């Protein structure tokens, strides 16, 4: 299978990351979990991917880890929360999401024009920052006639600054919000760019500060941002083509609903139904077996995210940043800072 070499490498780095994290923690007299295995897996992937020139045969498996394995982990995250819990968290996070998404897009698009980037590249960086990173960029690129190099530049900007945020923001969030798990999760879910990066940041926070709520809140806030593609991407396409006087059509709405969002909702529904039958979930399991199943699913989520994060590190080329140029790179940095400041200000004001 084409995916095996790269996937096995990502799995090996994920396992090694957990082993090294525990070993280093023990060597310095810290307890289990004092160092995040997820973070070590990311750093191992970055180091390996940029020091060793991997053959092309590894590319398919690394992409599979970042996309498919990550999405499996996010789907299984739905088993951690009932639909009632998802709805409760979603209602609390929605006001911040509703403000940060359009604010980031409008401000970043304006700044892109001010520094004389093309409308297409500025639009791609804006939607990547405001909505959901690379997924939004890939979705909107064909609707505005973006060139391949513009798409690549936007993806590179989102990847590099999102990666920095994924590594730094868990610690910044803990300090900024005084250890409040909900606020930290909402910040990570709205200030970090890509879905993989949000999941990684949430898991790092959970592992360092023993706060599962942070990962749950970050995931739900991020899924809300993903769903904003239903409105934002067709609107951006229409506005762009109206200015450019081109005739390309906006995408059909149903193509913009990520399947892993649907999967997350289905798993949450399964959790809700299973919890209702507390004595005999689904008429098949006893309460102990249901609890063991949920624990197993949680462990699988951890490994899925570790594998995906190792893949993110492996797929991030530091050398590739040289081709971007200073203007797109500068806009990417400003975008990351702007969305972080907006998210921080809203959370401090509303909660």
Query: At 31, is the pLDDT very low, low, confident or very high (cuts 50, 70, 90)?
Result: low
The answer to the question of residue 334 being in a domain is yes
- Structural Rg of the chain based on CA atoms: 20
The answer to the question of residue 3 being in a domain is no
Query: At 90, is the pLDDT very low, low, confident or very high (cuts 50, 70, 90)?
Result: very high
The answer to the question of residue 130 being in a domain is yes
Residue 339 has pLDDT above 80, yes or no: yes
pLDDT at 29: 64
Write the DSSP string, 280-309: SGGGT--HHHHHHHHHHHHHHHHHHHHHHH
Q: Which structural domain range is residue 129 located in?
A: 79-303+323-350
Query: At 142, is the pLDDT very low, low, confident or very high (cuts 50, 70, 90)?
Result: confident
Residue 244 has pLDDT above 80, yes or no: no
**pTM for the full model?**
0.86
pLDDT at 240: 64
Cα(314)–Cα(59) distance, integer angstroms: 9
Residue 258 has pLDDT above 80, yes or no: no
Mean pLDDT along residues 132-152: 78
The answer to the question of residue 248 being in a domain is yes
The length of the chain is 351
Mean pLDDT along residues 136-162: 81
The answer to the question of residue 312 being in a domain is no
pLDDT at 144: 78
Q: Which of 210, 160, 220, 224 is nearest to 185 (CA)?
A: 220
The answer to the question of residue 39 being in a domain is no
Domains identified in the chain, total number: 1
pLDDT at 18: 86
Cα(156)–Cα(317) distance, integer angstroms: 9
Residue 118 has pLDDT above 70, yes or no: yes
Q: Which of 328, 130, 145 is nearest to 243 (CA)?
A: 145
Residue 277 has pLDDT above 70, yes or no: no
> Regarding predicted confidence, which is higher, 80 or 235?
80
Residue 223 has pLDDT above 80, yes or no: yes
The answer to the question of residue 66 being in a domain is no
Chain mean pLDDT for the chain: 85
pLDDT at 251: 58
- CB of 58 closer than 8 Å to CB of 9: yes
Cα(71)–Cα(177) distance, integer angstroms: 29
The answer to the question of residue 273 being in a domain is yes
pLDDT at 250: 56
Cα(66)–Cα(173) distance, integer angstroms: 25
């Amino acid at each position: 299978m084409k995916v095996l070499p790269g996937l096995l490498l990502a799995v090996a780095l994920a396992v090694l990351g957990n082993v090294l994290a525990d070993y280093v923690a023990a060597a310095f007299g810290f307890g289990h979990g004092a160092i995040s295995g997820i973070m070590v897996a990311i750093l191992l992937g970055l180091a390996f991917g940029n020091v060793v020139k991997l053959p092309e045969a590894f590319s398919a498996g690394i992409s599979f880890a970042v996309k498919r394995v990550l999405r499996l982990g996010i789907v299984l995250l739905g088993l951690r929360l009932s639909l009632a819990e998802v709805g409760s968290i979603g209602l609390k996070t929605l006001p911040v999401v509703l403000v940060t998404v359009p604010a980031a897009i409008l401000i970043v698009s304006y700044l892109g024009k001010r520094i004389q980037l093309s409308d297409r590249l500025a639009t791609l960086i804006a939607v990547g920052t405001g909505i959901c990173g690379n997924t939004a960029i890939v979705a909107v690129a064909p609707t505005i006639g973006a060139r391949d190099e513009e798409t690549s530049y936007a993806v590179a900007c989102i990847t590099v600054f999102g990666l920095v945020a994924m590594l730094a923001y868990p610690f910044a969030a803990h300090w900024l919000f005084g250890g409040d798990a909900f606020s930290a999760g909402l910040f990570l879910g709205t200030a970090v760019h890509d879905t993989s990066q949000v999941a990684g940041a949430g898991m790092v926070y959970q592992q360092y500060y023993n706060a599962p709520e942070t990962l749950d809140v970050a995931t739900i806030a991020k899924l809300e941002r993903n769903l904003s593609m239903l409105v934002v991407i067709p609107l951006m396409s229409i506005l762009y083509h109206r200015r450019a006087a081109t005739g390309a059509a906006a995408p059909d709405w149903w193509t913009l609903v990520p399947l892993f969002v649907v999967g997350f909702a289905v798993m949450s529904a399964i959790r809700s139904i299973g919890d209702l039958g507390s004595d005999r979930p689904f008429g098949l399991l006893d309460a102990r077996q249901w609890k063991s199943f949920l624990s197993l699913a949680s462990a699988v989520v951890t490994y899925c995210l570790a594998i995906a994060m190792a893949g993110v590190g492996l797929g991030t080329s530091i050398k590739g940043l040289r081709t971007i140029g200073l203007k797109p790179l500068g806009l990417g940095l400003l975008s990351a800072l702007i969305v972080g400041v907006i998210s921080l200000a809203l959370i401090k004001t509303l909660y």
